[in-house]
Structure 1
C-alpha cells in the first residue's frame, strides 16, 4: 500500500490545500493529512478546530476519490510522523519560487534523517497559487470576503472567529 503524508498547520484549510489533497489522492492508496500542532506559529484555530475542518472536507474528498484519507495531528519531527503513519512519500504543495527555497532546505534535512522517504512536490493550480492561510486570515480579520479562497464551512468558521474580536 502506498501511503503519503501531506503535512501542514491548515490554519485554516484553504482551497489551495484542497487542490493539493485532491491531486495527491491519485498518487497514493492512503493519504494521511498531518495537522501540525506548532505552538510557535500561534494558530487562530485550535488543534481540534483545525482537525475538524480537515476531517469534514476530507470525508467528501475520500468519498469522491475512493482513496482512504486519515487526519493525524502531530507535534514531532516530520520524518518521525512519517514513520508513525507508515508513509514513504511526503507530499508538499508549491505556490511560488519563495516556497521552493524553503522546501528545498527541508527536503535536504529530511533526506539526511531518512533517505528512504521521498518528497513529492505538487504545484498549486494556477487559480489557487496566491492563496496562503496567513493572507486569508489577514483579509478575514480586516473584514474582507475570503469566500473565494476557502470552503463555505471554513468561511463560516472565520466569520465566527473575527465576529468575536
Structure 2
C-alpha cells in the first residue's frame, strides 16, 4: 500500500502496487468503498538497460503525483539488489531508480516519505537517514550513526 499524499485531502485515492517483475501493477481505489478506480501495468521503459524492478516492498509514499517505494531491482551485476524507485502515479512509469547495490541486507532501506523539496527520505541500514533527490541523483546524509526508533513529523 501507498501512504496517501497529505496535500490531496480526504478524497485522495488509495494506491497499491502488486506483482513481480514483468507483471507489476499499480491500482488506485476509492477511499470510501475500496472500488477500483484505475489499474495499469508498471513500466520501466524510461530506465537505462539492464535496470528493472523485480518487486516492491515496504510502504510506498505518494507526493504530488509521484510515488516512492523501496524495491528489489535488477542492475548490471545482480537480480535482487536493493533500490528505491520513483513512479509517475498516473501512468505507472518508473521514472527514477536509486541502485543501493548488492552488499546490503534484504529490506535494508525503507522509504520514509518525501521532504518539502521533492526529495525522498530513506533509512540506509545499518545506521543512517538519507535524502535522495531523484531529479539530480544527489544523496545527502541527514543523520549518521542512527540507532533505535525513528519518527518523522508529518
| TM-score, normalised relative to structure 1 | 0.26
Q: Which has the higher contact order (CA 8 A, sep 6+)?
A: 1
Higher helix proportion = 1
| TM-score, normalised with respect to structure 2 | 0.27
